[in-house]
Structure 1
Amino acid sequence: MKKIIVTLLLIVIIVSQLFAETGTVTLYYENGTVSYTDTQTFYEFDVQAYIDGGSGSNIFKEGQIYVEYNTSVFGTNVVDNNKIVSITKMGPLAANSGYLYTINPSGGNDTYSDAFSVSFVNAQPYTDTGYDSDTYISNSSSSLTTILRIKMEVSASGSSNLDWPSDVTDINNLFREHDATSSLYTGFSITNAVETTSIVYSNTGDPALPITLKEFSAQYADTGVALSWVTESEVQNLGYVLKRAIIYSDDDFSSYDVIASYQTDDELYGAGTTTEQNTYAYIDKNVKPGVNYSYILEDVDYDGNVVTHDPVNIVIPENLLYENEDFTLGSNYPNPFNPSFTIPFELTRTMDVTINMYDITGKQVMSIMNGSFEARQYQIRVNASSLNSGIYFVRTMIGNEIITQKITLLK
């Protein structure tokens, strides 16, 4: 009898392994944004995923996600009360017309007044030839696949976590691979299925911003990146938060991480309520040569509401090109450029400086500067919008030293 029981257990284990797809489905709730119409306030966010240990060519057969929310912000029973405005299929789900989804109301098996779930299924046979890289789920945490965009109507101001309900059971049975056996994945992770937001509700259009920002700029300095911003007015402004990301390419950024906050840096406290102009400054000393950075400024009011302002970008110049006791000259940046570039140098005493630009034939196409300059740092911004694309040479003469750098204009 014991042998029979052991044999049966082994069969169950083997069958379970045969019908289980290798990899852990890992979910993220990300990219929350608030928007307004003349009469309503909305919040929307992305559902993203990757398969840890997956092949990189996995296709979802079916899946189900749950979202729990703060009823004081969104109201109760958002499905029954038509507070879910839209659910948009994204990425692989949009690329394959076979995907269908349903929103599960509060009745039936989903008896939550503060949560809802979305189910999707791929009705297209797995043997079809229409599957390609656009329909695959990523297997890398650094390249998440967006599968859904959910938009909800907001009922009142407040803070809310949109996350996975703690009392949902059988979560390992929610996602299947699109293959001959519709096999379950071997694991499921919801640790990152959470998005925290603070929302200002308005039924009269976009509410007044807590500050009127005149300018926000980033300049390279010897000690790092000098960030500065000017406000024309402030309303119940508690303080500022600065965030930084690395730009790898035009459409590839790292995440924005906090580098300074009013909670840790006294110089980032706001002015409360004022109609006077105020100027703020902060130096980011933790930057590296040759790296392209993006900075965003957030202001926080007394109620904890956050407003994010447009980013500013800056390229940190490469290591010094030339240095002696009288001056230092850095590499021109960015290179290639369009249409402007910067020439960084520093003088330790008053010196004559002449900088000209030449094309590949040796013809002078621009006189950038010529004169006597006092001891200090310089960041000479050169606008070459009148020139054609091509290779140019920047000839810098400081005192008796002459340094020539090649630079490329790409339009």
Structure 2
Amino acid sequence: MKTSPLLVVILVLGSTVANHKSDYLDLNIFCPKETTKIMRETLHVQQLPSNITYLDVCNAITSISPDAFEQFKDLESLNLDGNEHMAFPSDGSPLLRHDMIAQLSCARCGISVIYQGSLSSMPSLEFVNLTGNAISQISSKAFRKNLKLHNIDLSRNNLSHVSPDMVDGLKLLKNLDLSYNKRLAPKGNVSFLISTSLEELNCDDCGFSVISFKTFAMTINLQKLYLRRNEITFIESKAFDLHKNLSTLQVQNNQLKVIDYSLLVQPMKLCLEGNSIILDCDEKFSLDLLKFQCSTASPKGITCAIKTTTTEKVTETSPLQRSTVSDIIPETRAMTIVAPQLTSSTSNPPKMQADTVAGISNAYITGYLVIICLAQLTLMMLLLGVYLKMAKNDADPKIDCYAENIVNPTAFYKAIR
């Protein structure tokens, strides 16, 4: 029985792969057994093809020698995800020295601090993924040597502060993800970050409560800003006046109750679901509130209340009600008016509620009536006194003797006559 040359080649290749299967599954996956420290002299490293461009290092790696992969000149992407006990060298020395690595991922590792020198010897880095670590401190100069960075992912760490100039000078940086660092919001009215190139910033669940003019004033080229699931209660009306390129602002699931009208009319996609915003609307209000609901599955975050006076809000008032109330009871700063509910145009005129209309109090009216009664009583007493005095004088005989007339002749009168 003859064996074909093709079958021989397949058997030889199969034998070779089987021999190295315990070390790595293919040329891109590097899983040496019983090895926690990777060095250049490690046998498994020396067995790797010299022209590899991507390397996935698995297993429980605790440390890597800075020159471990320096001989692989074509290596562009290094994946260290899931090595929970591996951190950047505590003495601040570089993790690796490599001129060609453009992508570094160390998600869910054991990193707690990014030192100034941790990434300084990888000048070609364009993408860094450090999500899911326990990073609590980043040197302000940690990325100063990585001038080609386009994307940095620092989400889901323990950051409570980042230096405003952490990414300043990275002229190619476009995307920065800081989401789910729950205490990262800046303290006080200060600028959060400084960057002239940053286009997309993710700060979901970072503890923001107030967005002022200064908060993002130093990142004026932002195009997309994500501030979902924070504790935002107020956004200053001029907060984004400098951001002429801002096309998307997502502030869903915050604690907003009011929002400035100027923000609603800006030419950008504004998402407000999960808030409790009530707008003061009038007859000229023409905005479509549905455009602020970016997901139909989320609860509506903005509603409209018709404004009838300077101090009172009335919800769900028809145009007929607004015109009737304004004709009958003009607006005034001295009193608060509650708009009535009218059923038709022929209904009785609206009545002002006694407990809400300011006017003459009951006590004042009572006092006024008491004074009038006392005055009347005093007048009656005076008239009665005059009457009694006159009656007394009429009954005096000394006076009657001087009065003679046809009805009452007297001797004294006759003597005079």
Bigger strand fraction: 1
Bigger relative contact order, structure 1 or 2 (CA pairs below 8 A, ≥6 apart): 1
TM-score by length of 1: 0.24
Larger radius of gyration: 2
Bigger helix fraction: 2
TM-score by length of 2: 0.23
